[in-house]
Structure formats: structure tokens, C-alpha cells
Amino acid sequence: MADLRVRIAGVEFPNPVIAASGTYGNGECYTDLYPISKLGGISCKGMTIEPKLGNPPPRIAETYSGILNSVGLQNIGVHGFIDFYLPTLKEEGNVIIANVAGATIDDYIAAAKALDASSVDMIELNISCPNVKAGGATWGVTPEGAAAVTKAVRRATSKPLIVKLTPNVTDITVIAKAVESEGADAISLINTLLGMRIDIRTRRPILRNNMGGLSGQAIFPVAVRMVRQCYKAVNIPIIGMGGISTWEDAVEMMLAGACAVQIGTAIFSDPYSPLKVIDGIGEYMDKNGIKELSEIVGQCEEW
């Protein structure tokens, strides 16, 4: 029987499949379908130190093999999350990853300090959200910005720190190296690609924010490429995401270098997709005589 457990920065996940931030809420919409403890973990909805209403609608647009979103980090704030959602999530027995964003470095520091005293297992530093006017991806598009916010948050918390990277850069390996050098325990990638749709009848962008983040199957090859590049550039664990919808996608991402994966957009069309991916990975490992996930991580034999 395959061992699906994976350890990242000292935290043990029962399996490598994590619900991606923003697409699973804080688990509350799925508890009637199955025990969310079956997941490897949950990266909770992106949160800021103060509550945010997000962007005005429309803020979701369908596109080929994916969706565009410009939700804009709507959330009840870090303290609201700690008081309202976290107790229930811990009762479920999940590995809880708090996804944190901010407009300023002080915002990130305040959120990290509040979460440091909580029972979350890890912090995922979101320096890659393209849908907010201030902060968000602006921190993640230069090595200097990424390094500065990572360094500040590393000093503010003892929690294991994952840094979530944006694909909207020239060379993602430079950003990965920068956050590794300032104390990131792991990186997660990729966040959404920046995209746009226009309504030909109104001649206006479909999204009120004009542009939004493209996610879904359309971005999977880009995600695989960037995970592979980062795997060869850094020495910290990588959590891969971006268009994963099947167990075959997950295995491919792990062959590229990810030790765990996050599933996001696929959950909208099939909320059971993470469970199917978990089962599929296990069956693949059993069929091929693979006992531990470490035997396939990064094992792509390039030409």
C-alpha cells in the first residue's frame, strides 16, 4: 500500500492534495459532501489584517478551459478568521494553511503576528494576487519586493512559511531564490495569470475590474514549466498548482518537482475532484511499485 504522507517544513500532511486558497473558502461549503479531513490540508481563503469587501461585480468570467476572477480578496479579516472559522477547521483535523495578503509590509507583519498566536499550522504568504489595487502581486514581481516582505514576515512569526509566487514575471527562478534567501520554508506556485475578456455587444470588459486572474486547465502547462524551473533553482519544498484537475495532472506536477499539489478551479465543476486525485495517486503508486511520494518528486528525465 502506497504511503501518501508528505512532510513540508516539519508539518506532516496525510496526503499531498491541498485545497487551494480562494476556491474552497474555509471549508464551510463542503462539509455536507464529505469529511474535509480526507484532504491533505486546506489553504484558507486569502485574508488581510482588516476585513475587505473585495471588488465590485461582475468579478467572475468564464473563458476557454478556465475562468477569470477579480474577487479582490473579500474576507472577514484575520481576527474574524481566527475567531469564527479556525476552531471548526481544527476540529475537522486538517492541516490548516492561512493565506495572508496585505497592501503594505506592516499589514503582512500584523497578520503574521496575529496568526502566530493561533493554531494554524502554516502561513502562505500571498505576494501574487493580481486583483487588488495595492499590495498583492506588486510585492511578488521583483526579487527586491519579494525578499523584503518575506524577510519581514519571517521575523514576525515562528510558523512555517510558504511564499506563493506569481507567474506574471520574466524569470520566476529569481523570485524563488530571493524568498528562499530570506527565510521561506517552502514556495507554492503558480498563482493566476493576468487576463482579460471583452463583451463585443457592450464593448466593455466583462469584469468590472477590467482584468482578472486566469485559472483552470488552460494554465497547466505554464505551471508545470515554472515548477520545474524552480525545482532546479531552489532547495526548499515546492507546492505545485495551476490547472490541476486529475490525478494524472498531479503526478505530472510532482514529476516536475512538486512534493504536494493544490487544487482550485476544478473544485467548482467537481467538488469531489480532490478526493479523486488522492485515490488516483495511490492507485498509480501501487500499480507502479512506488512506496513513497519522494520516489517520483522531480523525477522527470529531460532530453
Residue 138 has pLDDT above 70, yes or no: no
- Determine how many CB atoms are found less than 10 A away from the CB of residue 111: 27
Q: What is the pLDDT of residues 153-195, one digit of tens each?
A: 999 999 999 999 999 999 999 999 999 999 999 999 999 999 9
- What is the arithmetic mean of pLDDT over 53-78? 95
6-49+71-196+214-295 architecture in CATH? Alpha-Beta Barrel (3.20)
Q: Above pLDDT 70, what percent of the chain?
A: 96
**Residue 133 pLDDT > 60, yes or no?**
no
Catalytic residue chosen out of the listed positions 29, 44, 129, 259: 129
Average pLDDT, the chain: 94
If pLDDT is split at 50, 70 and 90, which confidence band does 59 have? very high
Report whether pLDDT(106) > 60.
yes
Q: Is 129 a catalytic residue?
A: yes
CB of 77 closer than 8 Å to CB of 54? no
CA atoms within 13 A of residue 290's CA, in its CB half-sphere: 18
pLDDT value of position 139 = 77
Answer whether 248's CB lies under 8 Å from 7's CB.
no
pLDDT surpasses 70 at 136: no
Are the C-beta atoms of residues 59 and 70 closer than 8 Å to each other? yes
Q: What is the pLDDT of residue 137?
A: 57
Q: How confident is residue 205, by pLDDT bands cut at 50, 70 and 90?
A: very high
CA–CA distance from 241 to each of 45, 103, 258, 301 (Å)? 15, 24, 9, 21
C-alpha span between 253 and 4 (Å, rounded): 15
**0.85 cut: is pTM over it?**
yes
